[in-house]
Structure 1
Amino acid sequence: MTTEATSPTTAVEVVLPGRVEPDELVITRRSLPPLGSGQALVRVDATGVSFAEQQMRRGKYYDQPPFPFVPGYDLVGTVVDVGAGVDRTLLGRRVAALTKIGGWSSHIVLEAADLVDVPEGLDAAEAETFVANGITAWQMLHRIARVGVGQTILVHGASGGVGSTLVQLARIAGIRVIGTASARNATAVDALGAIPVDYRGDVPQQVRAMAPEGVDAVFDHVGGPGIVDSFRLLAPGGTLVAYGSASTKDHAGNSRLPVLKLFTRLLWWNLLPNSRSAHFYNIWAGKRRLSRFRRRVAEDLGSVFVLAAQGRLHAQVAARFPLSDAAQALELAESRTVTGKVVILPDLEL
């Protein structure tokens, strides 16, 4: 391990102790482990609240670890120490990483190979909104659905973290976007470049009025019974990309069952004799081929960061909270009243 005089030996963390309300999160301090070969110690400059943490709090995320654990799906930070075998020019560089858990911390040990450079000039909080959200949106749009210029897509939850990024990426690519949102967020969705549709109304009827032949792709994080409408709204040759089951997050019972039901339904549709296709997107699905997974994450997030650095892609920061107020950050994210992503920043006094 490379030892730096300024390298911290402890980290402040926000722990999710079990199926609890946001105000029952626990703030602790623990000793950092020694760095192993290929590892880096990262000071967390910004993390955030995604839908994953909201599910984890309820014990509903498909493959979450057993309680207790530190949530935090992704982060932007600065490398403050490196282990053996890691290029020391990494020290002091701002990086981004997918973590799944562990991001709600002042410092975290990560594999150096999982770190992606963040361009200079990007604010840490703004860059943070593009990590998991940007990778998800880019890969669904360009690697799975492969939507082309002039085509039309439907984005459910267009004012959310993934949705607002997906809308912008689609508009940059010359794609027409219809986006569902609450009436209060219609103006924000319109500002992003999408045609807003009130999700509380008759969505299929509203979408059919704008796309009589159907849409070329639907991006659906809601799941539940509404997934049938999403599939039926596809034009011939269209693609449905499901990437969650938000409608069942408060349902009692087995946390995996809604996802398994959704996956089975998508598989069944693909077996039917029609030209439409259905996919379930999981950002971690390719990790069994680790080198390829890392390469694609770096390429796709890098493409998103370039667009952000050019000023073509705009961060949607819903609010900023200090790490010590992670409970309030989680409550706001769950209120469904915000556009974009709630970001958590370090507390200097901790």
Structure 2
Amino acid sequence: MDMQTERTEVVLPGVVEPEGLFLRTSPLPEPGTGQVVVRMEATGVSFAEQQMRRGRYYDQPPFPFVPGYDLVGVVQSAGADTAPGLPGQRVAALTKVGGWASHVIVDADDLVPVPAGLDAAEAETVVVNGITAWQMLHRRARVRSGQTILVHGANGGVGSTLVQLARLAGIRVIGTASPRHHDRLRDLGAIPIDYHTDVSAAARAIAPGGVDAVFDHLGARSVRNSWRLLAPGGTLVAYGSAATRDDTGSKQRPVLEILARVWAWNALPNGRHAYFYNVWSGRALARQRFRVRLRHDLTQVLQAVAEGQITAQVAARFPLARAADALRLAESRTVIGKVVLTP
């Protein structure tokens, strides 16, 4: 068992370049009632952290803070009122912030067991990405076998997971990406489209009657075109505003613009549907119901990876001390999958 007395964490002090991140150490925390200390084995660099670095994530905490949306690790110690036998278990958890640390305090009820034999970094790639992809596909769009979907950014962490989950369900996938990623998308079972070209025309050439669902992380301008690509009865799921990552001004405005369009489209009597998805929107449910749903959905994804039904897309691995390099690579948009941090 890890006998360390200190933890190391990566601090985001403000709106800085990646090199502005810094490491600090602090005493190893003691878990409170209902909590555990997880010794981190892998944590991810997602789009959320890229926005947070710019002060652009719509509900990020005040600076300074420790980023890190999710993690996989081993329970090191457990507080009162937790299930027996937790220490020593490998688990996954959503944290939203705080994951970029050697040891992290997590509510025990938020832990999801990781199947035995699954590599920690591989499991990490499908925590927030897997939850997002699974719930958008099966809980929001509810796409069925034989239908056709369009995935924007199909080479990304969420996109590459979504492609594989859809193909596993018998769904035809059209995916946008830079041409350098097209061979890999074909390997995953998607029909690639160059996102630099007229995506709408290319998608119509493949699916003349429209697609049954579009998954769009780009923002308000893109979702307008995505809405027009829907077949009768189709569903648009927007889940980000990547195209506004480097904008200035209100960080809430890009999300509010999407929400306004979603509301307006759903008011139309045309049989199509639109949603804005965020994994934390499930907290509108009763807290326990949110946890049960999250645990079920993430378990499905982790099991699919463990059984080889989908392949974890680890773009690169960096130690915490090289968090700046990891963030730089993730922001370059040159990789398929997810950049992972290790202790």
TM-score by length of 2: 0.98
Alpha-carbon offset, residue 6 of structure 1: 5.2
Describe the superposition over 1:241-271 as per-residue Cα deviations: whole angstroms up to 9, x where unpaired.
0000001111110100110011111110111
Partner of 1:220: 216
Partner of 1:315: 312
Describe the superposition over 1:224-243 as per-residue Cα deviations: whole angstroms up to 9, x where unpaired.
31211100000000000000
Matches within 5 A, 1:109-120: 109-120=105-116
Is 1:46 matched with 2:35? no
SS of the equivalent of 1:42 reads strand
> Unpaired runs of 5+ in structure 1?
none
Alpha-carbon offset, residue 87 of structure 1: 2.2
Q: 1:340 aligns with which of 330, 337, 341?
A: 337
SS of the equivalent of 2:77 reads strand
CA change 1:306–1:6 in 2 (3 A) is closer
> Unpaired runs of 5+ in structure 2?
none
Matches within 5 A, 1:1-350: 7-288=3-284, 289-346=286-343
SS of the equivalent of 2:85 reads helix
Contact 1:7 / 1:81 at 8 angstroms: preserved in 2? no
Describe the superposition over 1:88-119 as per-residue Cα deviations: whole angstroms up to 9, x where unpaired.
30110000000000000000111000000000
Separation (CA, whole Å) in 2 of partners of 1:8 and 1:321: 21
Separation (CA, whole Å) in 2 of partners of 1:198 and 1:112: 44
| Percent of aligned pairs sharing the same letter | 64
TM-score by length of 1: 0.96
**Count, aligned residues:** 342
SS of the equivalent of 1:284 reads helix
Amino acid at match of 1:203: V
Separation (CA, whole Å) in 2 of partners of 1:315 and 1:43: 22
Over the residues paired in the alignment, what is the CA RMSD in angstroms?
Answer: 1.0
Separation (CA, whole Å) in 2 of partners of 1:80 and 1:58: 33
Higher mean C-alpha displacement, 270-279 vs 144-153: 270-279
Separation (CA, whole Å) in 2 of partners of 1:63 and 1:26: 22
Describe the superposition over 1:197-224 as per-residue Cα deviations: whole angstroms up to 9, x where unpaired.
0000000000000000000000000013
Contact 1:42 / 1:79 at 8 angstroms: preserved in 2? yes
Alpha-carbon offset, residue 290 of structure 1: 0.9
Alpha-carbon offset, residue 275 of structure 1: 1.1
Contact 2:32 / 2:80 at 8 angstroms: preserved in 1? yes
Amino acid at match of 2:64: P
Runs of 4+, deviation exceeding 3 Å: 5-9
